[in-house]
């Protein structure tokens, strides 16, 4: 693997495993730069037969991926829209690319992932989370919108419609043990065991005989969510451009959203906004 320099990712390879560390201070916001780097990296690795497993983690112990950047402008997002696959929006494109990746993709979740960050976690083949510091949440409803990066479809597939509605409309932060019980992640592990467990699993998968990984991923194929993703985009688009949505996001930013302090309990921050 050629070690391309990315603005927001640190990439290394050991044997047949690529380790990708998300590093976008101060809170690992899912910015245009992060989405661009992730799409470029996944495209680069897709044709690399020296890599069999991709492990994602974070340089920030508190945040894996915070959520989509609420300050991103239409002009900034335009570059990501230039080469979208047919039938998906720019946020869904990241998740769908991850879901179709030929390598096995594993998220090592040791901090919080909300919104688009949580969608990235659920799009990966597997996710393992640290009991205590890890948290998952779809925060969008508190901002006056619904998820638009695949969560409505991926969550329903993983946890069932009833729990997907609870997660999306309840808009709470879920701990690792609850996420495991719901089927949102593979397993919740004591924080001090997370690294060793994921490293062992990734190493075992990478060492399998030739063609086994490809055969397994072909047989256990990701569901085709084309119709559902189109519905998700339509309902999101009907909400995101309303003045009330812009007011909610602006008020949240003014109260400390996208700061380290504000993001510790973002749900309470948005619920505490004036009527």
What is the chain's pLDDT, residue by residue, as a tens digit (275 residues)? 555 789 999 999 999 999 999 999 999 999 999 999 999 999 999 999 999 999 999 999 999 999 999 998 888 888 888 888 889 999 999 999 999 999 999 999 999 999 999 999 999 999 999 999 999 999 999 999 999 999 999 999 999 999 999 999 999 999 999 999 999 999 999 999 999 999 999 999 999 999 999 999 999 999 999 999 999 999 999 999 999 999 999 999 999 999 999 999 999 999 999 87
> Do residues 124 and 56 make contact, with C-beta atoms less than 8 angstroms apart?
yes
> Do residues 81 and 104 make contact, with C-beta atoms less than 8 angstroms apart?
no
pTM of the complete model: 0.97
Name the 3-class secondary structure at 236.
helix
The confidence score (pLDDT) of residue 171 equals 98
38 token code pair: 């992730």
Alpha carbon distance 192, 150 (integer Å) = 31
Q: Which sequence spans correspond to the domains of the chain?
A: 9-192
C-alpha dihedral sign at 21, 199, 105, 125? negative
The confidence score (pLDDT) of residue 75 equals 83
The confidence score (pLDDT) of residue 81 equals 81
Phi/psi of residue 173, nearest 5 degrees: -95, 125
Give the pLDDT confidence of 68-106 residue by residue, as tens digits: 999 988 888 888 888 888 899 999 999 999 999 999 999
The confidence score (pLDDT) of residue 271 equals 98
CATH number of the domain located at residue range(s) 9-192 in this protein: 3.90.226.10
DSSP H or E stretch at residue 180: helix 176-182
Write the burial class of residue 78 (CB in 10 Å: 0-12 exposed, 13-18 middle, 19+ buried).
Answer: exposed
The confidence score (pLDDT) of residue 120 equals 98
């Amino acid at each position: 693997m050629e070690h391309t320099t990315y603005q927001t990712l640190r990439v290394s390879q050991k044997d047949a495993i690529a380790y990708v560390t998300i590093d976008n201070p101060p809170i690992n916001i899912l910015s245009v730069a992060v989405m661009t780097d992730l799409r470029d990296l996944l495209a680069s690795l897709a044709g690399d037969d020296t890599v069999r497993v991709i492990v994602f983690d974070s340089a920030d112990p508190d945040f894996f991926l915070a959520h989509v950047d609420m300050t991103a402008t239409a002009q900034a997002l335009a570059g990501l829209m230039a080469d979208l696959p047919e039938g998906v929006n720019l946020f869904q494109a990241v998740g769908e690319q991850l879901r179709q990746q030929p390598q096995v993709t594993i998220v090592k979740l040791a901090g919080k992932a909300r919104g688009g960050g949580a969608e990235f976690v659920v799009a990966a083949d597997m996710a393992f989370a640290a009991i205590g510091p890890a948290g998952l949440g779809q925060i969008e409803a508190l901002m006056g919108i619904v998820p638009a990066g695949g969560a409505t479809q991926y969550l329903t597939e993983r946890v069932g419609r009833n729990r997907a509605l609870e997660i999306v409309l309840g808009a709470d932060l879920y701990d690792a043990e609850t996420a495991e019980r719901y089927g949102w992640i593979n397993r919740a592990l004591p924080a001090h065991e997370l690294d060793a467990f994921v490293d062992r699993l990734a190493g075992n998968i990478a060492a399998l005989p030739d063609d086994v990984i490809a055969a397994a991923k072909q047989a256990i194929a990701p569901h085709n969510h084309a119709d559902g993703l189109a519905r998700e985009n339509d309902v999101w688009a009907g909400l995101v451009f309303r003045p009330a949505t812009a007011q909610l996001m602006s008020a949240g930013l003014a109260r400390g959203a996208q700061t380290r302090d504000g993001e510790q309990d973002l749900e309470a921050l948005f619920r505490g906004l004036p009527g």
